[in-house]
Homo-oligomer: A and B are copies of this chain.
């Protein structure tokens, strides 16, 4: 399977409470426009400066789900990374994100459930140290001891 195993992220045995990972990105007009196109979320508060100027935000803001997507990025690429199964995520939107803001999305392991190979993570996105989005994630992480690469696992918890 041409190096596919080398692309795998952390296994359950690699995880410990307190482990943390972050990604950071500057939000641009291109992100908002492309996200509007993909999602179809053309709410004018995101793409119409004249409409947005008349709202409580006094200008365009990024889609909350765009900001949330960076939490998925930390989990899917860093901690635990490729191979984990995303089970659930809660999202509390605390403040707007605007073009030019640099967002820092962080995930930290808060609890491990060995019997189910699950990990709970606290997830936050900050802009200039202010929390704009917070929540919790639950993921299932394969055991290194029982991985069977490249054969597919027999049961599909996400089915």
Contacts and interface: CB of A to CB of B under 8 A. Distances in A.
A88 B89 CA distance: 11
A130 B144 CA distance: 32
Interface string A69-97: 11111001100011101111111111110
Contacts of A16: none
Interface residues of A, number: 65
Contact of A73 (B40, B90, B152): B40
Interface of A: 1-2, 4, 7, 23, 25, 31, 34-35, 37-46, 48, 50-51, 53-58, 63-66, 68-73, 76-77, 81-83, 85-96, 149-153, 155-159
8 contacts: A41-B72, A41-B76, A44-B82, A63-B69, A64-B72, A86-B93, A88-B92, A90-B90
